[in-house]
Amino acid sequence: MRHSNVFAQSQMSVGQKLIHMHWFFILLLSLTAVIGFAMLYSAAGASFDPWASRQMVRFVLGLMGLMVLAVTDIRLWLRYSYGIYFVVLALLIAVEVAGFVGMGAQRWISFGIFNIQPSELMKIAVVLALARYFHGGSLEEIERPTYLVPPILLVIVPAVLIVRQPDLGTTLMILLASAGMFFAAGVRMWKFALVGAMGLAAAPVAWFYVLRDYQRSRILTFINPEDDTLGASYHIIQSKIALGSGGLFGKGFLQGTQGHLNFLPEKQTDFIFTMLAEEFGLTGGLILLALYTMLLVYGFSISISSRNHFGRLVGMGVTLTFFLYVFINIAMVMGLIPVVGVPLPLVSYGGTAMLTILLGFGLLMSVHIHRDLVIGRRDSGDDL
């Protein structure tokens, strides 16, 4: 039965796989991206340049990449998961050696006509590597503490490199998404409690020797935002003013004052949700949140429906990563958590972030298309 199932799946043509694509999910992605284009158009003062036009091109190219990943046999992703991880890890190391500084952080590598931020790609690479590792393990093996050492290293090594750039937001996303995958793989809760206790014990060391001055300032600002209204607290105070001034239906498209009078910082990236809420009010914000919620529901549904463990873990990891993008950005601009610089997915301006999200969803679509493909625990994709 297993071999006939594998044979049937492997005999699907590219056209048949495209037919089996979750097209309503793609529609939701496109509607969310259109909201992003509109807000970038508004942020530039009713102009497609310099942000909206570039974002449109990136979305189209990213959507093409999504299609390619979606129709690729999921066993290829199983086979090359570690290879992809180590290529991205090499790029992270290259950032340390030859990366250039932008906005006070060394996070990018220049390839001439374009720049790339490897830390964004690592979010997906870690998901693939952990899915590959846990795919081959039984529940009895996962019970052994020594079995968890390799996947912990797969997470910790890039996390250390990324926090040095410094990029605390991406580091937290990788750690939290990885924790979710450990849980999905069957790791017991007491082990999470143990790691959490160790993290709390190490917090004072991290405060004095890992965090930069501006990162400590952001945390202190979060605790007491009224302490430095013209300095460290300025961004979040202006964000709250814009959010509140939007009311129920907003001031109208292109009519936002905080954004267009340049009181709102980084309105095209980190604080674009604030700009949307100012122009379209609570109603506009809830519409965007509804789109995000549907994407998350379908993402988890696709993951659960996969008959192979690798597909379930990849789907869970990608969907959880997307959730963290949404949650951290919106909580940040509302002042619920410290400002950490995480973009709003498909809406904020940014090439590598857009590419990461769409390629991640390409893997999710591959999970959906190959959901009935049964892959043995000890299979490595080499039987393709």
Domain count, the chain: 1
Q: Is residue 308 part of a domain?
A: yes
Q: Is residue 254 part of a domain?
A: yes
pTM for the full predicted model: 0.91
Q: Is residue 231 part of a domain?
A: yes
Query: What pLDDT digit, counting tens, does each position of 185-206 carry?
Result: 989 888 888 888 888 887 787 7
pLDDT of 379 > 80? The answer is no
Q: Is residue 374 part of a domain?
A: no
- E strand or H helix at 115: strand 115-116
The domain in which residue 239 lies consists of 2-369
Q: Is residue 13 part of a domain?
A: yes
pLDDT of 302 > 70? The answer is yes
Q: Is residue 210 part of a domain?
A: yes
Cα(171)–Cα(174) distance, rounded to whole angstroms? Answer: 5
Query: What pLDDT digit, counting tens, does each position of 16-45 carry?
Result: 899 889 999 999 999 999 999 999 999 998
Q: Is residue 208 part of a domain?
A: yes
Q: Is residue 198 part of a domain?
A: yes
pLDDT level of residue 4 (50, 70, 90 thresholds):
very low
pLDDT of residue 381: 64
Highest mean pLDDT: which range of 144-148, 221-225, 234-238, 363-367: 363-367
pLDDT of 210 > 50? The answer is yes
